[in-house]
Copies of this chain bind each other. A is one copy, B any other.
Amino acid sequence: MFSKVLIANRGEIAVRILRACRELGMQTVAVYSEADRQALHVRYADEAYYLGPSPSRESYLRGDKIIALALKSGANAIHPGYGFLAERADFAQACLDAGLAFIGPKPSSIAAMGDKAVARATVTRAGVPVVPGTEGEGALRDDELLALAPKIGFPLLIKATAGGGGKGMREVLAIEEMPGLLHAARREAEASFGDGNVYLEKLVEAARHIEFQILADVQGNVIHLGERECSLQRRHQKLLEESPSPFVGENEELRQRMGAVAVRAAQAVGYLNAGTIEFLADKEGNFYFLEMNTRLQVEHPVTEMVTGVDIVKEQIRIARGRQLHYAQEDIHLNGWAIECRINAEDPYNNFLPSTGRITHILPPTGPGVRVDAGVYPGFEISPYYDSLISKLIVWGETRAEAVLRMRRSLEEYRLVGVHTNIPFHQRLMDSHRFMGGQFDTRFVEERFSLESAEEGREAHPEIAAIMATLVAHETTQRAAQIVRRNERDTSNWKWLSRWERLQR
């Protein structure tokens, strides 16, 4: 049974895992790249070892070095966090081969869920619904596709086998228009990818992204911790998550049915530890398996806030061979939790990443507010890693209370030195569709813009004008003062007390 854990990650999730380890009395080992010497995970860990240069492939992706450092430091378990090596079956296997516990699923489960076709086939055998389509059936001719189309149902999508990014994709509303659209799709696919093969997939209309948190122990117990709604995305990046889902809402029957399917999907690969089953759901309440994330998720805190379960501690207990703390009937969703991902990016400039030194932070606090962050005043945000710098999570007795609490928390949050997407979240909180829970996975990209969201709001241009003018005024005045002061005193350093020098 292990008692010293190496955390093979950085940023907020490394800090999150360190905290769980510390509360369980485990010794901790951090690893860090050149850019991360001053990172919070290095400061919080009991031990910290240099891994390599800043680019991930030379540091956080060097599984060989990480395992060597674990062995050198006497760590006997590795927690991979999310991203980096978390879903690499070969890394999980290498840990086991080196005699280290891997705090996550078995390598075979990672591999099975990592290959989309294998995953689809595996869960289908277990009776889990997948988005109906012909993807797994190889290259079909037009007559074959036309014969299969009615079984899938309309509307459906023609998709290029080789492609992505919408090239070679066509939406089909009825069989009559299909031959022409097939022709157009194949021609575009051929032009774009040099491969004219296409397949059919049911179009899930007004799709919502709903996922279930799974926990499974070595004794074979598998439970779910209810769902999370993650439909608010931009460029396939989740921006805001909540639990429960406003779509599932008070439909406890649907929740339990989806949860049972999620448990079955996990059991289909003999799953162990924490994982997430992602579904697409349509307006009618049909839901389809999308994929399984065989690791801890960024958005796990919303589930923690409504269930009271500390998922990371439970991961560690499971990896130590303990039985789950909870049975399915112990799990109840209490109240409502929302998470906003705070990214270092400029919402007013096409969401371009923003780098720089953070000079000041005033995080929101108070009742029902949790902030998970990997940054602090003085820390430098580098261009090497993802732009997530903080997660703001709130809890309320109801969704309405949680939304209002998120609003006040976003308004309170001060972070100086890099741009953040906080204004984006503020506008989202004001949106009527968000407040009503009426959104799907296309909402942010197709029906929400920061500029138009600002139009309807109470604006204060006169206040902005006053503040800008006062800053400009003071800048001019100060500049003059600096010149004058300098003329008087050419030996500033003499005025530094010993203490001030010490603090430099």
Contact = CB atoms under 8 A, between A and B. Distances in A.
Interface stretch (A107-115, A134-142, A488-496): A488-496
Contact of A365 (B363, B368, B408, B412): B363
B471 A502 contact: yes
A449 B432 CA distance: 57
A458 B317 CA distance: 27
Nearest to A378: B360
Interface string A185-216: 00000000000000000000000000000000
Interface string A18-62: 011011110000000000000000001000000000000000000
A475 B491 contact: no
A20 B23 CA distance: 31
A479 B503 CA distance: 11
Contacts of A362: 376-377
Interface string A366-394: 11111111001110000000000000000
In the assembly, how many copies of this chain are there?
Answer: 2
Given A334-B308, A377-B377, A493-B482, A367 B370 contact: yes
Nearest to A20: B367
A501 B480 CA distance: 11
Interface residues of A, number: 54
A504 B476 CA distance: 12
A483 B501 CA distance: 11
Nearest to A375: B362
A75 interface: no
A427 to B, nearest CB: 18
Interface stretch (A167-175, A288-296, A397-405, A459-467): A397-405
Contacts of A479: 498, 501
Contact of A335 (B22, B301, B308, B360): B308
Contacts of A369: 370
Given A308-B397, A367-B370, A475 B490 contact: no
A318 interface: no
B501 A25 contact: no
A445 interface: no
Contacts of A430: none
Contacts of A23: 401, 404-405, 408
A346 interface: no
Contact of A475 (B22, B486, B502): B502
Contacts of A405: 23
Interface in A448-488: 471, 475, 478-479, 482-483, 485-486
A262 interface: no
Interface in A64-110: none
Interface of A: 15-16, 19-20, 22-25, 44, 301, 304, 308, 310, 334-335, 360-363, 365-373, 376-378, 397, 401, 404-405, 408, 412, 471, 475, 478-479, 482-483, 485-486, 490-493, 496, 498, 501-502, 504
Q: Which 10 A-B residue pairings sit nearest by Cβ, starting from the closest?
A: A490-B490, A22-B408, A365-B371, A486-B493, A23-B404, A19-B366, A362-B376, A482-B493, A475-B502, A23-B405
Given A365-B373, A479-B501, 10 more contacts: A16-B366, A19-B367, A19-B408, A23-B401, A23-B404, A23-B408, A475-B501, A475-B502, A478-B501, A485-B493
